[in-house]
Amino acid sequence: MKKGIPQKSTFSAWFDAVLKEGEFIDIRYGVKGFIVYRPNSMSIVKGLYHMFESELKKNNHAEALFPLFIPYSSFKKESEHIKGFEDETFMVERAGGEELDEKLIIRPTSETAIYPMYSLWVRSYNDLPLKLFQSVAVYRYETKSTRPLLRGREFLWIETHDLFLNEEEAKAQIMEDLRVASKIYDSIGLSFIITEREPFDRFPGAVESYAYDAVLPTGEVLQIATTHYLGQNFTRPFDVGVLNKEGKRVLPFSTCCGIGISRSLGALIATHGDDHGAIVPVGLGMLDVIIIPIYHGGINNDVLNYATKVRDEVSLSGLNVTLDTSELTPGEKFYHWELRGIPIRVEIGEKEVNQNVVTIFRRDNGVRKVVELTKMGSELNVLKEEINRELSNRGRDVLSKALQEVRTKEELLKASKQKSIMLADFCGRKECADEIRNASGGFEIRGRPLNLDYKLMDKCVWCGNKSLRKVIIAKAY
Ligand SMILES: [Zn+2]
Residue 282 lies in a domain: no
- Please calculate the CA angle 221-222-225 and round it to the nearest 5 degrees: 130
**3 pLDDT band (50/70/90 cuts)?**
low
Separation between Cα atoms, residue 74 and residue 108, nearest integer Å: 13
Residues 255 and 294 in one domain: no
Domain of residue 339, residue span: 289-383
Mean of pLDDT values over 69-83:
89
User: Distance from the CA of 410 to the center of ligand 1, in angstroms?
Assistant: 14
For strand 130-139 and strand 62-63, is the pairing parallel, antiparallel, or unpaired? parallel
Residues 79 and 164 in one domain: yes
| DSSP3 helix / strand / coil % (the chain, rounded to 5) | 35, 30, 35
User: Distance from the CA of 406 to the center of ligand 1, in angstroms?
Assistant: 14
- Judge whether residue 75 has pLDDT over 70: yes
User: Distance from the CA of 464 to the center of ligand 1, in angstroms?
Assistant: 6
User: Distance from the CA of 293 to the center of ligand 1, in angstroms?
Assistant: 63
CA dihedral 129, 134, 139, 142 (to 10 degrees): 70
Most confident of 10-19, 70-79, 398-407: 10-19
Mean of pLDDT values over 386-399:
91
Q: Identify which of 344, 343, 414 has the alpha carbon closest to the alpha carbon of residue 188.
A: 343
User: Distance from the CA of 427 to the center of ligand 1, in angstroms?
Assistant: 4
**1 pLDDT band (50/70/90 cuts)?**
very low
Q: For residue range 225-248, list pLDDT tens digits in order.
A: 999 999 999 999 999 999 999 999
Tell me, what's the pLDDT at 84?
Answer: 85
User: Distance from the CA of 438 to the center of ligand 1, in angstroms?
Assistant: 14
Neighbours of ion ligand 1 (CB under 5 A): 427, 432, 460, 462-463
User: Distance from the CA of 444 to the center of ligand 1, in angstroms?
Assistant: 13
CATH number reported for the structural domain that contains residue 355 in this entry: 3.40.50.800
Mean of pLDDT values over 271-282:
96
- Please calculate the CA angle 238-239-241 and round it to the nearest 5 degrees: 135
User: Distance from the CA of 433 to the center of ligand 1, in angstroms?
Assistant: 8
Residue 395 lies in a domain: no
DSSP E strand stretches across 75-188: 90-95, 98-106, 130-139, 154-164
Residues 266 and 347 in one domain: no
Mean of pLDDT values over 82-105:
93
Residue 392 lies in a domain: no
Residues 173 and 320 in one domain: no
User: Distance from the CA of 408 to the center of ligand 1, in angstroms?
Assistant: 11
Q: For residue range 349-371, list pLDDT tens digits in order.
A: 999 999 999 999 999 999 999 99
Q: For residue range 295-339, list pLDDT tens digits in order.
A: 887 888 999 999 999 999 999 988 999 999 999 999 999 999 999
Residues 360 and 407 in one domain: no
CATH number reported for the structural domain that contains residue 244 in this entry: 3.30.930.10
Rounded to the nearest integer, the mean pLDDT of the chain is 95
User: Distance from the CA of 409 to the center of ligand 1, in angstroms?
Assistant: 10
First to last CA, the chain: 34
CA distance readout (Å), 270 to 150, 171, 246, 421: 10, 33, 54, 17
CATH number reported for the structural domain that contains residue 428 in this entry: 3.30.110.30
User: Distance from the CA of 401 to the center of ligand 1, in angstroms?
Assistant: 26
What total number of domains does the chain contain?
3
- Coil/strand/helix, residue 275: coil
What pTM did the predictor assign? 0.95
User: How would DSSP label each residue in 355-405?
Assistant: HTEEEEEETTT--EEEEEGGGHHHHHHHHHHHHHHHHHHHHHHHHHHHEEE
Residues 352 and 433 in one domain: no
Q: For residue range 156-212, list pLDDT tens digits in order.
A: 999 999 999 999 999 999 999 999 999 999 999 999 999 999 999 998 899 999 999
CA distance readout (Å), 457 to 49, 254, 470, 471: 41, 34, 8, 11
Q: For residue range 407-429, list pLDDT tens digits in order.
A: 999 999 999 998 899 999 999 99
Residue 1 lies in a domain: no
Tell me, what's the pLDDT at 85?
Answer: 87
Mean of pLDDT values over 463-471:
95
Tell me, what's the pLDDT at 230?
Answer: 97
